[in-house]
């Protein structure tokens, strides 16, 4: 697949300072750069991560289905030891800035 208009828009927004890149680190050490707008919420980050992974899978040819419901039930996104638990809370309120790293942490069973 070619570069999508959405990706071009993200890069333009980055250039003009209207967006930021948040690196999402997986447990295996892989880091995925995800672009979100400056006033994005935790939910916006999750949606952008989903789009990033889907595009990457389509480009690599292996289109495998991922259950995002399962992923969000099994993992937290964390930043600085704090869970991004409230989807409506802005990333800025968590202290996340451009080029910061957010991690996937497996939820503990209750």
Domains defined for the chain, CATH in brackets: 5-106 (3.10.20.90)
At residue 3 the predicted structure's pLDDT band, cuts being 50, 70 and 90, is confident
Rounded to 5 degrees, φ, ψ at 51 are -60, -40
DSSP state of 95: T
pTM for this one? Answer: 0.88
Each as own residue / partner, the long-range contacts of residues 12-17 (CB below 8 Å, 24 or more positions apart, any chain) are 13/37
**Structure confidence at residue 16 (pLDDT):** 87
At residue 1 the predicted structure's pLDDT band, cuts being 50, 70 and 90, is low
Q: For residue range 27-67, list pLDDT tens digits in order.
A: 888 999 999 999 999 999 999 999 999 888 888 877 678 89
* Contact status, residue 104 vs residue 26, Cβ threshold 8 Å: yes
């Amino acid at each position: 697949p070619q570069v999508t208009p959405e990706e071009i828009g993200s890069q333009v927004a980055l250039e003009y300072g209207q967006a930021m890149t948040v690196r999402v680190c997986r447990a295996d050490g892989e880091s995925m750069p995800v672009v979100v707008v400056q006033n994005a919420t935790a939910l916006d980050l999750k949606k952008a991560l989903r789009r990033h992974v889907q595009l990457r899978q389509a480009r690599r040819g292996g289109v495998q289905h991922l259950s995002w419901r399962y992923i969000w039930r099994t993992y937290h996104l964390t930043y600085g030891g704090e869970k991004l638990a409230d989807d409506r809370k802005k990333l800025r309120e968590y202290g996340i800035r451009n080029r910061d790293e957010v991690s996937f942490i497996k939820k503990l069973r209750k």
